[in-house]
Amino acid sequence: KYALVDHALSRATKGLIGILEVDGKADDSVILDKSGDSRKQLGEMKH
């Protein structure tokens, strides 16, 4: 699960938070940084 918070944290107290829940294997074709090497830089994502 990943918490998605509005950029203004003061609005988070008003309910502007969402939860993204994912399952399955990490897929670099979905999320890549500009170098194309996101899993090595960010660490293996656990779902």
pLDDT single digits (tens) 17-37: 778 888 888 777 776 666 655
Where b means 16+ CB within 10 Å and e means fewer, 6-25 reads eeeeeeeeeeeeeeeeeeee
No. of helices (H) and no. of strands (E), the chain: 2, 2
Q: How far apart are CA 16 and CA 39, in angstroms?
A: 28
**Residue 37's pLDDT is what?**
55
In 1-47, the DSSP E strands lie at 2-5, 17-20
pTM for this model (two decimals): 0.34
Phi, psi of 18 (to 5 degrees): -125, 155
Mean pLDDT in the chain? Answer: 68
In this structure, which amino acid lies at residue 42? L
